[in-house]
Amino acid sequence: MIKILEYGSVPNEEIFSRSDPMQNVSQAVSAIIARVRAEKDKALYDLTEQFDRVKLERLEVTKEEIDKAVASLSPDFLRILEKAAERVRRFHKVQIRQGFVLDDENGVLMGQRITPVDRAGLYVPGGLAAYPSTVLMDAIPARLAGVPEIVMVTPPSKDGSVSPSILAAAKVAGIDRIFKVGGAQAIAALAYGTETIPRVDKIVGPGNAYVAEAKKQVFGTVSIDMVAGPSEILIVADGESDPSHLAADLLSQAEHDKNASAVLVTDSYDLAKKVRDEIEKQLQDLPRKDIARASVDKNGKIIVAKDLNAAVSIANELAPEHLELCVTDPFAYLGSVRHAGSIFLGRDCPEALGDYMAGPNHTLPTSGTARFSSPLSVDDFVKKTQFTYFTKGALADLAPDVAKFAEAEGLSAHARSALIRLEEDEK
């Protein structure tokens, strides 16, 4: 049963503690990465047979497989995919940025160019679960950024196939190539390349502990979006909120993973008790009851604060992945929220909207990293390059100062580099 904690009556450690689900897999992941670097495709075939229990004949998904998958899905689901994709495009299109040029009066030009990475790699969880929504969220910003080639890796099912919904979402999102490989070996293949899978410049997408550790280990060779932990939701609610709605929203994240975190912060002890009871009631007929039960019992908590301002302060301290403001006037508190991955405002905006149809990205910072990181966006797939142009006259104006600055740092060659051009003009 979810526990109820009164803020100020229990140690802060109980309020702000997080479970650490990360397994000690660094050595195993290092070995997998080394093997992929050495054996390339052979390692991928062998590791897929070892971990996924399937012997593949080829790694890349064919056009025929994609067409067959799309044809197997209902027209209604395909319509929903297209609708969701369009909403995601609409939100992320606004994020596209342009470069700039500053033009000084003396002929100096300074500026910044925005260019996409050459190739992006998307990791999409598969096998036992299929998340076509992740395909849309990760691929569409990359396409809008202008990435020339987008490749996707995803674990195969026991029969060697890829979920039809994932393949359909990949087609809708405009992914160029798809490969049947998962786990740390897929991340290694994207980072270093094999005979079949091309090396990428950026890897994005969630995964298990092995995937997260692999992303950590290849960072520096390639860029990554983030190291994602278990899903989280924190709801700030007043006493007027419906307990059944709050319980449903908490369970929507608890059913993801036994290590997921579902937290309610409220100014009403009466509401806290009603939500606790409602969670027990709704758990009874939940298909993923065992997962949700483990999450709620291990990581769930209801925190009773003295008022809503204190509740928002607690939320800022926890910096959750998803934050719902289920209060009468959510906009009155929006400006006070400093740390959250994605904010859902009002009583009729459940987090599930953000997972599928709202439009803002659902690849979000977890484990408190919203204190310093951001949701996946178009910015993740571009890089900024600056440029400078000086005329001889403009150089003459600044060269003496450049030289003095360089000498102050003990770098005489820097000083000479600035002054030598003036000396040539004096000859």
CA–CA distance, 310 with 315 (Å, rounded to integer) = 9
**What does 114-134 look like in DSSP terms, one character per residue?**
EEE-SEEEEE---TT---HHH
Q: Could you tell me which residues are beta bridge partners of residue 322?
A: 233, 342
**Which of 213, 232, 278, 321 is the catalytic position?**
321
Instruction: Reply yes or no on whether 322 is catalytic.
Output: yes
Instruction: Encode 221-248 in three state secondary structure.
Output: CEEECCCCCCCEEEEEECCCCCHHHHHH
With a CB cutoff of 8 Å and minimum separation 6, the contacts of 212 are 22, 227, 228, 229
Which SS3 state, helix, strand or coil, does residue 200 take?
coil
Q: In which element (H, E) is residue 10 found?
A: none
Q: Could you tell me which residues are beta bridge partners of residue 388?
A: 110
Burial of 413 (0-12, 13-18, 19+ CB in 10 A): exposed
Among candidate residues 369, 368, 371, 418, the one with its CA nearest the CA of residue 395: 418
CA–CA distance, 85 with 99 (Å, rounded to integer) = 27
Instruction: Reply yes or no on whether 213 is catalytic.
Output: no
**Which of 92, 256, 322, 362 is the catalytic position?**
322
CA 83 to chain centre: 22
Residues in the chain: 427
The total of other beta-carbon atoms located within 10 Å of residue 274's CB is: 18
The residue assigned the tokens 């093997």 is 35
Q: In which element (H, E) is residue 158 found?
A: none
Could you give the residue numbers annotated as active site?
A: 321-322
